[in-house]
């Protein structure tokens, strides 16, 4: 027997906190209970929550859906969540039944973005379309690189390759390899320091700093929609950054004249998501935004973390990246929705981690350097 609950306002979210947190243990921070509950409260006038929770003795599923005003259905997060997905574990029939309840609304469905080929395969019934890539830098990629001796050869604007003997590469850490590959950027950070620009790290709970960054970004002219020109979005980001579960850090370059650049990042297990970057246009000639991203990436690698540069293949990201994760969109008509997660056609999902598994994982994480 499958038990179903539908949550239609943020006040009811607490009733499914336990299930949500259990299913989201292996998901990104954008599927977390804390982010989802706050999004449901902040954006209720734009998109009504319609969260479908189904449970049985052999599985569970949660679809964090919303009904957009005068628009299609989607998943929670307004325009601020880079990655989205359903949450489920165990018997696939539970997810199928939850999805069929959403289909009963007979509205089209749109989603941006699914992260990775595994999720594209999960949603294959919706025929996901390629959207973009999320560049990232990972120790596992750097450890496979063979950095050879000899003159560094690179085209203008490409990363430097420092001279390291092949015999010595086995003992070189991923972060050291990363610094060696980008020796030019290392030199430029030193030049910035000579101008009395200081690197600092702040907590996400420093609301006035966060508010200043997002308000200033909201006033900047951008080639596409400026997300942070919207007051409600700015306030959401300030509030979610202060949530303990977000593990938010704000990295800055600061001079006596004020803030030179800032990078806002969120920690999700062994991944640091570099969510947004601000820089003072008066310092544009020094490229402080790129240098700050480089420095945060190097520090993250030294801490044993992957650094996710998020959606967008901008040159300042791709120059640093060791991999690109494909992202996909879903745009399905109402009549096509039943075929997305059809009954009897899906493979069982891995069971959600048990409390004992999570306890063991916390002990393991505790041996890592703090973020």
Which two three-digit tokens encode residue 180?
A: 């060696």
One domain for residues 102 and 166: no
One domain for residues 46 and 65: yes
One domain for residues 41 and 87: yes
Q: Which of 263, 269, 361, 264 is nearest to 306 (CA)?
A: 269
One domain for residues 350 and 224: no
One domain for residues 49 and 85: yes
Q: What is the pTM of this model?
A: 0.86
Number of folded domains in the chain? 2
Please spell the DSSP secondary structure of 161-178, one letter per residue.
-----GGGGGG--HHHHH
| CA distance linking residue 150 with residue 298, whole number of Å | 24
What stretch of H or E contains 331?
Answer: strand 323-332
Residue 245 · residue 255 · CB < 8 Å = no
DSSP state of 279: E
DSSP state of 334: G
| CA distance linking residue 334 with residue 108, whole number of Å | 4
Report helix, strand or coil for 148.
Answer: coil
Q: pLDDT tens string for the chain (371 positions)?
A: 999 999 999 999 999 999 999 999 999 999 999 999 999 999 999 999 999 999 999 999 999 999 999 889 999 999 999 999 999 999 999 999 999 999 999 999 999 999 999 999 999 999 999 999 999 999 999 988 765 433 333 333 333 333 333 334 556 889 999 999 999 999 999 999 999 999 999 999 999 999 999 999 999 888 778 999 999 999 999 999 999 999 999 999 999 999 999 999 999 989 999 999 999 999 999 999 999 999 999 999 999 999 999 998 899 999 999 999 999 999 999 999 999 999 875 556 665 554 344 344 443 444 333 33
Which two three-digit tokens encode residue 16?
A: 């499914």
One domain for residues 316 and 167: yes
One domain for residues 106 and 182: no
| CA distance linking residue 330 with residue 172, whole number of Å | 42
| CA distance linking residue 149 with residue 165, whole number of Å | 5
Cβ atoms within 10 A of the Cβ of 347, count? 7
- The residue assigned the tokens 């325009």 is 79
DSSP state of 160: P
Question: CB-based contacts of 355: which residues, under 8 Å, 6+ apart?
Answer: none
One domain for residues 273 and 223: yes
Q: Angle at the Cα of 130 (from 101 to 136), degrees rounded to 5? A: 105
CA distances (Å), origin 213, targets 13, 251, 259, 324:
30, 11, 9, 27
Is 371 inside any structural domain? Answer: no
Q: Angle at the Cα of 152 (from 151 to 158), degrees rounded to 5? A: 165
Provide the residue range defining the domain that includes 163: 139-321
Which CATH number characterizes residue 251's domain?
3.40.630.30
């Amino acid at each position: 027997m499958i038990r179903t609950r539908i949550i239609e306002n943020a006040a009811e979210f607490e009733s499914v906190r336990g299930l949500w947190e259990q299913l989201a243990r292996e998901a990104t921070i954008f599927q977390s209970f804390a982010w989802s509950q706050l999004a449901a409260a902040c954006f209720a006038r734009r998109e009504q929550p319609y969260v479908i929770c189904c449970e049985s003795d052999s599985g569970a599923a949660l679809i964090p859906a919303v009904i957009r005003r005068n628009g299609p259905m989607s998943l929670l997060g307004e325009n601020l969540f880079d990655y989205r997905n359903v949450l489920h574990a165990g018997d696939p029939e539970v997810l199928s039944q939850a999805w069929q309840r959403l289909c009963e609304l007979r509205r089209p469905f749109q989603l941006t973005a699914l992260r990775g080929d595994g999720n594209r395969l999960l949603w294959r019934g919706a025929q996901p379309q390629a959207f973009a890539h999320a560049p990232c830098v990972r120790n596992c990629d750097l450890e496979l690189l063979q950095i050879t001796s000899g003159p560094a050869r690179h085209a203008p604007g490409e990363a430097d390759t420092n001279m390291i003997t092949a015999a010595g590469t086995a003992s070189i850490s991923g972060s050291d390899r990363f610094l060696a590959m980008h020796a030019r950027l290392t030199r430029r950070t030193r030049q910035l320091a000579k101008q009395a620009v200081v690197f600092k790290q702040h907590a996400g709970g420093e609301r006035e700093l966060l508010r200043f960054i997002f308000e200033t970004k909201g006033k900047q002219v951008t080639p596409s929609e400026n997300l942070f020109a919207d007051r409600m979005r700015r306030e959401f980001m300030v509030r979610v950054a202060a949530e303990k579960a977000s593990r938010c850090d704000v990295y800055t370059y600061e001079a006596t004249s004020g803030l030179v650049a800032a990078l806002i990042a969120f920690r999700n297990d062994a991944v640091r998501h570099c969510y947004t970057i601000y820089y003072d246009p008066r310092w544009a000639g020094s490229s402080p935004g790129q240098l700050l991203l480089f420095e945060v990436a190097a520090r993250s690698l030294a801490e044993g973390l992957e650094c996710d540069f998020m959606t967008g293949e901008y040159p300042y990201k791709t120059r640093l990246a060791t991999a690109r994760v494909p992202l996909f969109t879903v745009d399905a008509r109402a009549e096509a929705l039943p075929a997305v997660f059809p009954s009897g056609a899906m493979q069982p999902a891995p069971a959600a981690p048990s409390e004992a598994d999570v306890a063991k994982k916390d002990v393991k994480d505790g041996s890592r350097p703090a973020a």
